[in-house]
Structure 1
Amino acid sequence: MNKIGLPTCLNNPIFRQLYFAQTISLFGDALTWLGLALLAFELAGKSAPVALAGALTLRVTAFTLLSPLAGSIADRFDRKPILMVTHLGRMLLVCLLPFVQSIWQIYALVLGLNILNAFFAPTYQATIPLVTGDADYRQAIALSGTTYQILGVFGPGIAGVLALFIGARDLFFWDGLSFIIAAILIGTLPGSLRSDVAEPGNRSVGQIWADIQAGTSRLWTDAPIRYGLMMQLVASIAGAQILVNTVSYVQGTLHQTGVQYGWVMMGFGLGATGGAMAIGIYPQYRSKILTILSGGMLITASLIGANYVGLVPLIFLWSIGGFGQSLINLSLQTLIADRTPTNMQGRVYGAHFAWSHLWWAGAYPLAGWLGTTFPDRTFVYGSSIGLALLVVVHLFLSPDRFTHTHLEFSHVHTHDHDLQHHHEHLIEVEIESSHQHPHVHSQLSHSHSYTDISHQHLISHHH
């Protein structure tokens, strides 16, 4: 993606068709979530932050409870029917949203939509490395993330304009159509989307529970992934403020319309697109830990003065926040792919999807409470909480100062053995003798610390 032209991962016909299916359904999603915010404001008025926070809390609750199960199933079954069924089921439910007349109906439909989405999202994430292979999966992840953000830029703006002509409720039918088209594209993929570990005899309830535990354990015992996951908690505090309270601030405090609300959210999406593009352009030579830290600082700092600005400065601040959120999310997604064997990625992505959305399950009610209790200072308080948490996470959980990757190369190490360091060789080597042997790195990730001059080989280490 650092050259003009199509990304090389699109030369893969299976990924290309899968990517186009994702793009079409995401375009409809961009319309749907803006329509949902406008519908909540229509039905709840000044209580819209609480209503929207409730709907979004149900969303992340479904993700938290069901995503680990989805990750285990994705590792052991053909992923194509999972992706198809989740698209068609969401099509049916989203087409019911134009007919709702009360908040509880929104809650019921949002819960159903996101039960299905809890099975779709980790399955899709784990399928990217499966179909692209080691050469292209980082670029494919970045491309998918960039597309998600680009549609986040244009979708809300288009939805705001369409809402003026056709009404917010009819926006949901567009999403229903997008799900049908996406399901057709996935259904016509050649062959299956089955991981190598998906074999008969590994489908018992006990094995699935063991898979869920294995995915969660790997997520929390890997220091860089654990750090990124906790930084997503920081980002969720600020991100929930943006998603829950922006509509009331723009339409209530600034006395603007749904069109202007679409512009503000377009600014958030534009910044997120910039962050995703930065990750895609520099996938091999960036410090992932510093990138994640920078993202957390940007999204939390962007909220500090948001309660005291007009429409244009708010768009600028939200673009900074969106940039920071992308830096965290995509860096962590590539870290998981870098540090997890292919046959475990469904389980780890499922566990990650659950835990990262558990953060939002707490952040959304907090944002709703701040929005109704402190409507004039909600963004200031949200930023303060996020910044305090960021400092704690970085001081106590930062695994190192620099993490970078590089392409395969070979070199020779001089190696000294003592009584505490010994391993087997093809020929006998005496203890406390110095010797050399060749060393091959393949897409390695090296971690360097200010206080520890050793380096750790994380992916493959061949003597």
Structure 2
Amino acid sequence: MNQTSKKNSLLLLFGIGTSTFGDFIYLIAINILVLQVTNSAAAVAGLWIMGPIASILTKFWSGSVIDRSNKRNLMIASDIFRALLVAIIPFLTSIWLIYACLFFLSVARAFFEPTSMTYITKLIPQEQRKKFNSYRSLVTSGAFLVGPAIAGVLLIISSAKVAIWINAVTFIVSAIILFLLPNLEKNNSISHGNALSLTNLKQDWRHVLTFSKNSKYIVTIYAIAQFIMVIALGMDAQEVVFTQKVLGLSEADFGYLISITGIGHIIGSLTVSVFSKRLSIQQLMGIGYLMVAIGYLIYALSFSFTSVAVGFIILGYFNAFYNTGFMTFVQNNVPTDMMGRILSVFGTFQSFLQIALILLIGFTGEILELRYTIIIASVLNMVVSLALILLVYRPSRAIYFKETNELSN
């Protein structure tokens, strides 16, 4: 890796880390602020609906904008827009105005995430992506562990408002760092001929459909991996209820479990970073998905803090494996000129599925004992994970897991 490439990678990691760190502070603070404003648990629960709704209403067309825009400039604009929205939230006294801000924050995020994936893929050479993704996982897990802790300290010494404003600052810092990174495209905005229109939108969806037909293996791997993630999110949504109502653990115990998971993720990310040259993309995905599925099974079958902790440690540790492997697989096989459209269109279906599965697990938990619901979900997660692993290790598909430029991007 030459000095310029190394510098760009470090800058990008610092920007991602700063923004993610701020997000975790904000995540704690916004829940506290809404509870203070409304004194309503239902209002706090409403926070979690904004993201999926915004994704559904945005992602089916946002990819068309992303692929026609300058990626770096779009990310900078998204960061600045989010900084302004976050900064005004503490001044709002109406829950509906807060919800409106959160909705548009989710819209901005729906633009930022596929755009950043495309930009990273273009900036980082193919043979260096696995290493970069392992470091990115390390930065994210560090932010996951430190962010909430800092938020707790801020809530003690100041207020939720200050914590939220710090998040606004992190978006500005991220925008400045992105400005220092190279501009990889000549176009600075959407050209007049390529402006978003119904005709262009239909054409873009046809392109995604054509790619899906011509790249069935890539799409199948992506779809199954996202389905596994949705199952996991459905189980995660019931974690607090399961640990406290079913296992009888305290809020402090749950906090310890989250910390243990974060520590496991950091150690897992360090392991992947150190051994990234020795671990292939197939091994990262195979080991990662299998062990995470085992972690969820242990969690579902637990009857004590110790057994849950073992499951959570496994979850945290091996999350780093499959995250790095899957992200590298996508970057190496999805064309960068269509990546925004492909990820956004697939993200639309994922959001629908996410809402449906969270509601299904919640509804089933009202009919059956919650433990049985979680066991069924964890067994389904294991079956789907094994199916994915079999696909990943098919000898005839080994070309899709090469880490050099044998596959055209």
Shorter-chain TM range is 0.7 to 0.9
CA distance in 2, matches of 1:273, 1:43: 35
Distance 1:359 1:251, change over 3 A: same
Alignment: residue pair count: 399
- What residue in structure 2 maps to residue 23 of structure 1? 17
Q: State the identity as a percent.
A: 20
3-state SS in 2 of match to 1:303: helix
3-state SS in 1 of match to 2:391: coil
For residues 100-179 of structure 1, the aligned pairs below 5 Å read 104=96, 106-179=98-171
Give yes or no for contact 1:336–1:349 (8 Å, CA) kept in 2.
no
Structure 1 position 297 matched with structure 2 position 288: no
CA distance in 2, matches of 1:79, 1:245: 37
Q: Deviation of residue 179 (structure 1)?
A: 1.0
Give yes or no for contact 1:54–1:364 (8 Å, CA) kept in 2.
no
Give yes or no for contact 1:129–1:337 (8 Å, CA) kept in 2.
yes
Q: Structure 1 unaligned runs (5+)?
A: 1-6, 409-440, 445-458
Distance 1:114 1:215, change over 3 A: same
Cα offsets for 1:223-247 (capped at 9, x unmatched): 2442343233233233343355438
Q: Deviation of residue 59 (structure 1)?
A: 0.4
Query: Does 1 or 2 have the higher relative contact order (CA < 8 Å, sep 6+)?
Result: 2
Give yes or no for contact 1:298–1:324 (8 Å, CA) kept in 2.
no
CA distance in 2, matches of 1:296, 1:95: 37
For residues 225-264 of structure 1, the aligned pairs below 5 Å read 225-243=219-237, 245-246=239-240, 249=243, 254-256=249-251, 262-264=255-257
For residues 267-346 of structure 1, the aligned pairs below 5 Å read 267-280=260-273, 281-282=275-276, 285-287=280-282, 290-291=286-287, 293-294=289-290, 296-305=292-301, 308-310=303-305, 314-346=308-340
Q: Structure 2 unaligned runs (5+)?
A: none
Distance 1:329 1:305, change over 3 A: same
Task: Report the AA paired with residue 287 of structure 1.
Answer: Q
CA distance in 2, matches of 1:119, 1:37: 24
Structure with the largest fraction of strand: 1
CA distance in 1, matches of 2:289, 2:404: 26
Q: Deviation of residue 126 (structure 1)?
A: 0.7
Task: Report the AA paired with residue 26 of structure 2.
Answer: T
Structure with the largest fraction of helix: 2
- What residue in structure 2 maps to residue 4 of structure 1? none
Distance 1:295 1:335, change over 3 A: farther
Cα offsets for 1:58-96 (capped at 9, x unmatched): 202322442353333222221222112211221122234
Greater Rg by CA: 1
For residues 356-367 of structure 1, the aligned pairs below 5 Å read 356-366=350-360
Cα offsets for 1:268-314 (capped at 9, x unmatched): 333334444455433662425524641551353243145x434x654
CA distance in 2, matches of 1:328, 1:225: 17
Task: Report the AA paired with residue 331 of structure 2.
Answer: A
Distance 1:167 1:356, change over 3 A: same
CA distance in 2, matches of 1:16, 1:128: 12
CA distance in 2, matches of 1:63, 1:350: 9
CA distance in 1, matches of 2:4, 2:374: 40
CA distance in 2, matches of 1:75, 1:255: 47
Distance 1:392 1:316, change over 3 A: closer
3-state SS in 1 of match to 2:300: coil
CA distance in 1, matches of 2:360, 2:47: 13
Give yes or no for contact 1:77–1:194 (8 Å, CA) kept in 2.
no
Give yes or no for contact 1:299–1:325 (8 Å, CA) kept in 2.
no
Distance 1:244 1:103, change over 3 A: farther
Which residue, out of 71, 75, 78, partners 1:79?
71
Structure 1 position 33 matched with structure 2 position 27: yes
Q: Deviation of residue 51 (structure 1)?
A: 5.1
Q: Deviation of residue 23 (structure 1)?
A: 1.6
- What residue in structure 2 maps to residue 411 of structure 1? none
Cα offsets for 1:168-218 (capped at 9, x unmatched): 44321110111111122223445454589x877444522343224433653
